Amino acid sequence: MKKDLLTISDLSNDDIEEIFRRARFLKERFHGGENYYSLKGKILGMIFKKPSTRTRISFESGMYQLGGHALFLSSKDLQMDRGESIADTAKIFSLYLNGIVIRTYSQGEVEDLAVNASIPVINGLTDLHHPCQILCDMFTIMERLGRLRGVKVAYVGDGNNIANSWLDGASKMGMNLSISSPDGYKPDSEIVKRAIQRAQKNGGKIELTKDPFEGVKDADIIYTDVWTSMGQDEEYEKRLKDFKGFQVNADLMSLAKKDVLIMHCLPAHRGEEISSDVINGERSIIFEEAENRLHVQKAILEMLMS
C-alpha cells in the first residue's frame, strides 16, 4: 500500500521508531565509509517552489548515497505554473518516478499531489508543516538524551510550520512542549487543539505562553526559528518589533536547566532570533541537527520507497 509523509500525524509511533532505528544504522554506515545501496535504481523527483539549502542537498545526497537518483525540478522547469493540473502532474510523475518530495507554499497542494499520485509523496516543507525537520530534531534529541518521553522542549518564536510540526511530534511521543510567541503569532489553533488532546493520552504536556522567560523554565531543549519566513519579507520590520524580547541568548538560557541544549532548524539570522555566541556555544547542537537531516531523510526514503 502506498504511504505518504505529509505531516507527522501520518506516521504511527512504530513508524517513527523504525525511522530512528534505520537512521542510526545509516549514520553508522556513513561515518564508517561503507556503501549501502538499498534504493539502487530508484528515482526521486524533487519539486521545489521555495528556495532550499538543507532540504535539497540532504534529499539529493541521500538518494545518491542509497544508490538511487534524484531529479531536482524547480517550478520554472515544470508545466504546473503554466496551467497543468496537480492531478495530471501527479499521474505523469507516477509513470516515471518512484517517489516525490515537494517543497511549496500550500499544504493543500501537497495533499492533492498525494491523492492523485500512485507513488509516495513526501512533504519537504509547506507554510503549515515541516515534518522531516521535526523527525530529524527528535532523532537528534534521542541521540543526545537517550529518550523523548518527558523531555521538555521550549520553542521560542513564530508559531510557524516548525511550531506546528513540533506540536504533532511532541504530543505523539509523550514530550513536554512549551511554545512562546507574541500575540498574533500563535501556532495553528486546530493543530494546537489536536496536540493537547493527544499529549494527554501519551503522557506529555503542551503549553502556550507569550512570555519566553516563563516558557524556558526547566527546559531540556531551547528551540527557535527565524522570525520572518519565506514569503513574509514585507513584514520584516514589523516582525522585528513584535518579536523584541524573544531572542534566544545567554540571559534566556540562564532560566532553563544548566545543561540545556540549543537547537535551530536553520537558516539562522544571527543577532535576531538567536545570538551568535549561543549558536557557537558549547550547548549548541545546531549543526549536529543539520547533519541528521541527511540520515533521517535517508531512513524516510527507505521506508517509503523500498
Query: What is the per-residue pLDDT across 193-207, written as a single tens digit (0 to 9) for each?
Result: 999 999 999 999 999
Give yes or no: residues 238 and 196 share one domain: yes
pLDDT, tens digit, for every residue of 35-55?
999 999 999 999 999 889 999
Give yes or no: residues 146 and 262 share one domain: yes
* Amino acid, single-letter form, for residue 67: G
**Is the pLDDT reported for residue 22 higher than 80?**
yes
* Model pLDDT, residue 67: 98
Domain presence at residue 2? no
For 163, the grid coordinates are 511550531
Domain presence at residue 3? no
Q: Give the CB-side neighbour count of residue 39, counting CA atoms within 13 A.
A: 28
Beta strands in the chain (DSSP E): 43-48, 69-74, 99-103, 121-125, 152-156, 176-180, 205-209, 221-224, 261-264
Q: Residue 141: how many CB atoms within 10 A of its CB?
A: 23
Give yes or no: residues 206 and 226 share one domain: yes
Yes or no: say if 205 and 262 are a contact pair by the CB < 8 Å rule.
Answer: no
Q: Which residues contact 289 (CB under 8 A, 6 or more apart)?
A: 136, 137, 140, 263, 264, 265
Domain presence at residue 1? no
* Model pLDDT, residue 251: 98
**Is the pLDDT reported for residue 84 higher than 90?**
no
Yes or no: say if 275 and 289 are a contact pair by the CB < 8 Å rule.
Answer: no
**Is the pLDDT reported for residue 168 higher than 90?**
yes
Give yes or no: residues 195 and 298 share one domain: no
**Is the pLDDT reported for residue 266 higher than 70?**
yes
* Model pLDDT, residue 81: 63
Q: Both ends of the chain: CA-CA distance in Å?
A: 12
**Rounded distance between C-alpha atoms, residue 64 and residue 287, angstroms:** 22
The confidence band for 80, taking pLDDT boundaries of 50, 70 and 90, is: low
Give yes or no: residues 200 and 269 share one domain: yes
* 3-state class (DSSP) for residue 5: strand
pLDDT average, residue stretch 247-251: 98
Active site residues: 103, 130, 133, 225, 265, 293
Q: Which domain holds residue 264?
A: 133-289
Q: How far is CA 92 from the centre of its chain?
A: 28
**Is the pLDDT reported for residue 234 higher than 80?**
yes
The confidence band for 75, taking pLDDT boundaries of 50, 70 and 90, is: confident
Give yes or no: residues 138 and 257 share one domain: yes
Domain count, the chain: 2
Give yes or no: residues 258 and 146 share one domain: yes
pLDDT average, residue stretch 240-259: 97
Q: Which residue has the higher pLDDT, 235 or 180?
A: 180
Give yes or no: residues 16 and 75 share one domain: yes
**Is the pLDDT reported for residue 76 higher than 80?**
no
Rg (CA), the chain: 19
Domain presence at residue 219? yes
Give yes or no: residues 175 and 146 share one domain: yes
Give yes or no: residues 143 and 285 share one domain: yes
The confidence band for 79, taking pLDDT boundaries of 50, 70 and 90, is: confident
* 3-state class (DSSP) for residue 261: strand
